Copies of this chain bind each other. A is one copy, B any other.
Amino acid sequence: MSDYSQSELTGLSPKFFKTNRDNFIKNLKLKLETLPEGSFLFLKGGSNKPRYDNDDDFHYFVQESNFYYLTGVLEPNFYAIIDLSNSSLSLFVPLPDERTKVFMHVESLEDISKKYECKAFDLLKMPSEIKILKPNKLYVLNGINSDSKLKILTADYNFVFPYDELNDLIDHNTLIYEILADTRTRKTNEEIELLKYLTKVTCDAHKETMKKIKENMYERDVENIFYRYIREHLYIRNHPYEHICGCGLNSATLHYIENDQKIKNNDLILLDMGGTLSGYCSDITITIPVSGKFTDKQKNIYKIVYDANREVMKNCKPGINWVDMHLLAEKVIIDGLKKEGLLKKEIDTQIMLNKRVGYYFMPHGLGHLIGLNVHDVGGYLSFTPPRREENGLNLLRSARNLAVGNIYSVEPGIYFIPFLLEKAFKDNDIKEYFIEEKVREYFDFGGIRIEDDVLITEEGCVNLSESLPRTVEEIEEFMKK
């Protein structure tokens, strides 16, 4: 496995992104009826944003994912043109004034051209340089992100050059963005190598926390152990998401991020923390006993979640539908909770699944695509299965059939969330399925999540986070040392 630890410093090779462009264009040709001659993709890169009114931007600049995927550009405020006949790249670069040159490290057009293996032009000359290409069509990205419902970044040519004839060539066809998002769901070999390395280092960082965690630390101390390791090994300055370190009851708040409580020896702690490398994300959750030893009660619930996690992995393969994997995880959880005496054995599991009982213990989706965004794009497109409407299933970030090269998080969990369970106990449609007094014994339990990142292959799937101690026995053995 290559050593990528300097790669955010040195940048990935231009070839890495050329491969992405080639794959995108291949997919375009496959899905569009025609791709007229003289077609270009016109892209806008990300910009720095002020946090509020003062002169301090958000730290640190992260490139917009679609732009990065197709160009590799790390600097803000660029525009790009991709020739769809040969995937060659032209970049339009804002040139600095005296003050900018004094304050910032800036590169010449020659440097940029060499660094990204492309043509590089002064941004101010964009209209004339595009005209030299004699385009017939300038596609722009246009669409809605299915997780956030926000509009994706569109090259606003008519905003920058309102009276320019090139505006007549702009094509807002939303299929273009969808095809790009779809391409991003199937990772290239180069992306897979990078994500394998990143995920391995992320697991190493989690193992570091397992070694160093101690009673009476604050949750944020545990976060610091993880972050120090990953920052020093990957040189990162950005997180893929806000780290979740929830001890005791806090582990039942799905995106608990305060991390400001003292941890207690008898508690479990849920650690959902990932890393980034050259723009890509990892997303791993471990749930471990602070003391290094599970209580029987903890052990029994942990084993159910573990079984759900492994059962899903056993069944992941190309063609399998992701909603079915979610339901499979719920089935294992319901069966496990029956065995533990929290749900009534005599009710058929399928009935409970249909009535969405699983939602009350796992009120989130089984997992999501991972890539340049931690919740990566492509989960719902006009040519893939629509979002389901049932409670819980509507939270899934994808309802697609699995395909080779997909990377998904597999993150089943069981949480005891009092207000949610109280709601179930009052719901005439389902309350009879619960053994209420038994479930109430778990109101101070918190939650357990086990999250791995898996790659879909021809044969099934590969667990990228397999180096983690995962069974009760493995965890207790590892933490004993």
Contacts and interface: CB of A to CB of B under 8 A. Distances in A.
Contacts of A65: 52, 54
A144 B50 CA distance: 14
Contacts of A257: 60, 105
A58 interface: yes
Contacts of A103: 253-255
A194 interface: no
Interface stretch (A234-242, A404-412, A427-435, A449-457): A234-242
Contact of A102 (B10, B49, B144, B254): B254
Given A53-B152, A53-B153, A242 B62 contact: no
Copies in the complex: 2
A214 interface: no
Nearest to A100: B255
B55 A255 contact: no
A151 B53 contact: yes
A417 B231 CA distance: 32
Contacts of A196: none
B375 A250 contact: no
A212 to B, nearest CB: 12
Interface in A14-54: 46, 49-54
Contacts of A235: 218, 220, 224
Contacts of A98: 420, 423
Interface in A331-390: 363-364, 373-375, 377
Nearest to A415: B102
Given A9-B260, A60-B257, A102 B55 contact: no
B62 A51 contact: yes
Contacts of A60: 242, 257
A224 B5 CA distance: 14
A56 interface: yes
Interface string A57-90: 0111010110000000000000000000000000
A100 to B, nearest CB: 10
Contacts of A62: 51
Contacts of A258: 105
Contact of A241 (B50, B56, B227): B56
Contacts of A240: 56
B148 A54 contact: yes
B55 A51 contact: no
A256 interface: yes
Contacts of A363: 102
A231 B231 CA distance: 12
B241 A54 contact: no
Contacts of A64: 52
30 contacts: A9-B220, A10-B260, A52-B65, A52-B150, A52-B152, A52-B153, A53-B151, A53-B153, A54-B147, A55-B145, A55-B147, A55-B375, A56-B240, A56-B241, A59-B238, A59-B239, A59-B241, A60-B242, A98-B420, A101-B419, A102-B254, A102-B417, A103-B253, A103-B254, A104-B255, A105-B258, A220-B235, A224-B231, A224-B232, A228-B232
